[in-house]
Structure 1
Amino acid sequence: MLQRTTRLTLVEQIALQMEGLIESGKWEIGMRIPAEPELMAELNVSRNTLREAIRALTHAGLLKTKQGNGTYVCSSSVLGVVLQKRILRSETQQTLEVRHALEREGALLAAQRRTSDEARALLLVLERCEGAVERGDIDGYVTEDIRLHQSVIAASHNDILIELYGHIAETLRDLISSLTRREVGAVYLEVHRQLVEAIVRQDADRAVAAVHHYIAESKAAISGSEREGHEPA
């Protein structure tokens, strides 16, 4: 039997309004939200109600309060928080398999749908990746590598895929950083160049093949590291 729905409390209503500001992008990740007096006036609520709403969103993982420095947005949606926590609990091989699935489809669609502007942007990010490696700037390379893969996904023009990948991209930073310190070199960079050039040429088969290649290299690097870690001293 269907049950009668309950009305939302004022705290829940305020929390939903604030969540909407986050999900819409008006409050971006990393942004410090307005101070309490400003929010109280804008939302027409008491300090206690506002604080309860902020506490609820903090518990959900959307906001983070820094003592003496305000409250900041740390995720764009509750779904993002759930995905990030799940990835952090997962084995590296499983995480790579999910990354493989998303990036393979993203590369295929990007090759079919990319615009001229997106093609130029991909080439520019690739150049920054290569420049970071030449300088020996591993942290800079990791940042540009994540940006490159996000740009590929963005060129897929699939909003759901873009949102899913956006939620997990930063969570993958530690994994990518770890792999980069083992793998980065001429061969690895060449595979990324093959990926970008295939998308620019709108060659979907070669774009997918490039993803298969660098994911296989990543899996091999992890397996090798695990074998070394289990060898007797």
Structure 2
Amino acid sequence: MRNVTRTSLVDAAIAELRREIAEGVWPVGTKIPSEHQLAESLGMSRLSVREAVRVLAHAGLLHTRQGDGTYVTATDESQVALRRRLDTAAAMDVLDVRRGLDLVAARLAAGRRTEEDLTAMRSSLARRDAAGRAGDLDGFADADAEFHLRVAEAAHNALLGDFYRTMLESLRDSVRDQEEAALEPDDSHGELLRAIEDGDPARAVAVSIAILDQQEPEL
């Protein structure tokens, strides 16, 4: 009887965590509350919560970083499947897909961005620039991917945002693969931000094309 109860509690914890992930309580890329906090909020034991997190990590929705915490990597299994497909895709294929998405994101962001969106983009770009000056390739790749995600979010198209969240790791990898060349001073991302700030869709698209063209010779 205890085994049945234990299984039911774990299943209930899995269902609740799935719901909160799917509803965007914890967006892709964000850290979920600690095991202790989750146990308190769900009214369950830490053991049940730990097992639920383990199951969702195995399914690809969560990823635990030793000594850091657990992060959301996908909202459902369809995103997991797409991310795994991206991991095995040829670099040029990924760039072709990005070309289409980036141009749409830039055009829409220039027409729909809010002051909150602009603040988020400026913050990501500042972190990107600081990491570049420090020679921190991993930090630079993280901030670069975050900047492009912020542009997509400024488009205020939920589906487009979901695609970018799924592609985050591929975006980071595309920067890391360029190694030191990625850290060379370049204001193209600043130009993209200024075009979006000015509400100029045509210029935002043109700058996005230039950014992608810079990456193509590296592949």
Determine if the alignment matches structure 1 residue 206 to structure 2 residue 203.
yes
The structure number with the bigger radius of gyration is 1
Query: CA 1:59–1:142 in 2, change beyond 3 Å: closer, same or farther?
Result: closer
Q: 1:83 to 1:196 in 2, by over 3 A?
A: same
Q: How does 1:32-51 map to 2 (within 5 A)?
A: 34=35, 38=39, 42=43
Is the CA contact 1:106–1:152 (under 8 Å) kept in the aligned structure 2? yes
Instruction: Tell me if structure 2 keeps the 8 A contact 1:22–1:73.
Output: no
Kindly state the Cα deviation for residue 175 of structure 1 after the two structures are TM-superposed.
Answer: 1.8
Partners of 1:109 and 1:178 lie apart in 2 by: 29
**Residue 177 (structure 1) aligns with:** 176
Q: Which runs of 4+ in 1 moved over 6 A?
A: 49-52
Residue identity in the other structure for 2:168? A
Structure 1 portions without partners, runs of 5+: 1-8, 223-233
How big is the shift at 1:24? 2.8
Q: Give the C-alpha shift of residue 77 in structure 1.
A: 1.7
Q: Which moved more, 1:99-108 or 1:163-172?
A: 163-172
Residues 82-116 of structure 1: CA deviation (Å, up to 9, x unaligned) = 12111101000011112222211111110001113
Q: Name the residue aligned to 2:193.
A: 196
- For residues 150 and 81 of structure 1, the distance between their equivalents in structure 2, rounded to whole angstroms, comes to 18
What is the TM-score normalised by the length of structure 2?
0.76
TM-score by structure 1 length?
0.72
Matched-pair contact (CA < 8 Å) for 1:27–1:33 = no
Aligned residues: 208
Is the 1:84–1:167 contact (alpha carbons within 8 Å) kept by the matching residues of 2?
yes
Cα deviation per residue 1:184-203 (whole Å; 9 max; x = unaligned)?
A: 424xx222122111111111
Matched residue type, 1:42: G
Superposed CA RMSD in Å reads 3.4
> 1:159 — aligned with what?
158
